Amino acid sequence: MADTATWKITLEQLEARGGVERFSDEDKKRIQRLPITDVHVHPDVFQPRHDTDTSAKHAAHVAELIRALHATKALDPITVIRVGGEWILIDGHSRLAAYQEAGGRRTHIPVTVFSGTLDEALQYSIAANTPDKANMTREEKREAMFLLVKRGACTAAEIARLGSASESSVDRMRRDLKTVQRDHPQVDWLTRSYTNVRWTVKNNQGETNPMWKDEKVKRVARVLTKHLGGTALESPAVFAAGMAMHLDDPGLLKAIGEHLLRLAERTDGVKLDF
């Protein structure tokens, strides 16, 4: 999810509108397309992947979807819900981005209307992204599972199935959450990630690890994604040469290379340790 600190606020705001509007099967058949501008995104809730605005891989994927869109004229429908008069995207963020960036005279996008509760929509969003084809990291799956733990609307078995994990992993998340809430009641742990919760349990600290590093890393990644798109993925040599020219310091380039090698050796998602 894009922002673990705001998901709780966003869900409460959506619930305050009265929940998800229900549609009959006939109505859902009738609503097959919506204006692109009418679809709103709440990635802090309905986007279990973290890299949608920071990853060169994501940017390259969107570029490929745009090429497919120009060739086929349409992509698979995105999935939406309607809450308080607002259409909200729950699956298909890359496809929506492709439609938005493709330009041209296209004004509408194919949709599938989802009917159910907000918690069911949340579960659907996670289930649609956890298969291997979505390329979610272990960390992203873990955080998606922890969001459901914090919501308290699913059984351990349901969460484990959605996250392709064991029930014991879910049980540990619940224990860890109860531990930090008991030991450090001054912190709103429902706005913290599981990485933060687990770190606190292991280190018995009242505050989480230095979050300023995480925020700076995200800022750098967003800038690279915005200006370079999928260059790093499509032309690694060009990307590396451009970085070397930008740094203009062999010692600094070597130091960054060593950090990259260490990060590349990790298999459970990037985690700062420098």
What does the DSSP assignment read for 85-103?
TEEEEEE-HHHHHHHHHH-
| pLDDT exceeds cutoff 60 at 180 | yes
Asked if 128 and 91 count as a contact pair (C-beta separation under 8 A), the reply is yes
Q: Across residues 248-258, what is the average pLDDT?
A: 77
The domain tally of the chain equals: 2
Domain carrying residue 253:
211-264
Is 133 found in the same domain as 17?
Answer: yes
Check which CATH number belongs to the domain holding 116 and give it. 3.90.1530.10
pLDDT at 55: 65
Taking residue 27's Cβ as centre, other Cβ atoms within 10 Å add up to 12
Name the pLDDT band for 167 (thresholds 50, 70, 90): very high
Contacts 24+ apart (CB under 8 A), 151-157: 151/11, 151/119, 151/122, 153/119, 154/119, 154/123
Residues 257 and 127 in one domain: no
Please provide the average confidence, as pLDDT, over all residues in the chain: 82
Q: What pLDDT shows up at residue 240?
A: 83
Q: Are 101 and 68 in contact (CB under 8 A)?
A: no
Q: In this structure, are 136 and 247 located in the same domain?
A: no
272 versus 251: which is more confidently predicted? 251
Share of the chain above pLDDT 90, in %: 30
Kindly state the tokens that stand for 184: 């450090």
Residue 228 belongs to a domain: yes
Higher pLDDT, 90 or 224: 90
| Amino acid sitting at position 179 | T
In a domain, 187, yes or no: no
Identify whether residues 153 and 225 lie together within a single domain. Answer: no
Task: Give me the phi and psi of 244, to 5 degrees please.
Answer: -60, -40
Examine residue 188 and state whether it is found in any structural domain, yes or no: no
Which of 131, 158, 185 is the last residue before a domain boundary?
A: 158
Verify that 114 and 238 share a domain, yes or no.
no
Q: Residue 20: inside a domain, yes or no?
A: yes
**Whether residue 124 is found in the same domain as residue 217:** no
Tens digits of residue pLDDT in 192-250: 889 889 888 888 765 445 454 666 677 777 777 777 777 788 888 888 888 777 777 77
* pLDDT value at 82 more than 50: yes
Does a structural domain hold residue 60?
A: yes
Residue with tokens 């700076």: 216
Domain end residue (candidates: 140, 158, 176): 158
Confirm whether 143 is domain-assigned.
yes
- Residues 69 and 135 reside in one and the same domain: yes
Residue 156 has pLDDT above 60, yes or no: yes
Residues 121 and 215 in one domain: no
Q: Is residue 256 part of a domain?
A: yes
pLDDT band at 2 (very low <50, low <70, confident <90, very high): very low
Lowest mean pLDDT among 56-65, 89-98, 127-136: 127-136
Residue at 173 is within a domain = no
Question: What pLDDT does 270 receive?
Answer: 42
Top pLDDT among 159 and 135 is at: 159
- The strand ranges marked E within the chain are 33-35, 39-40, 78-83, 86-91, 108-113
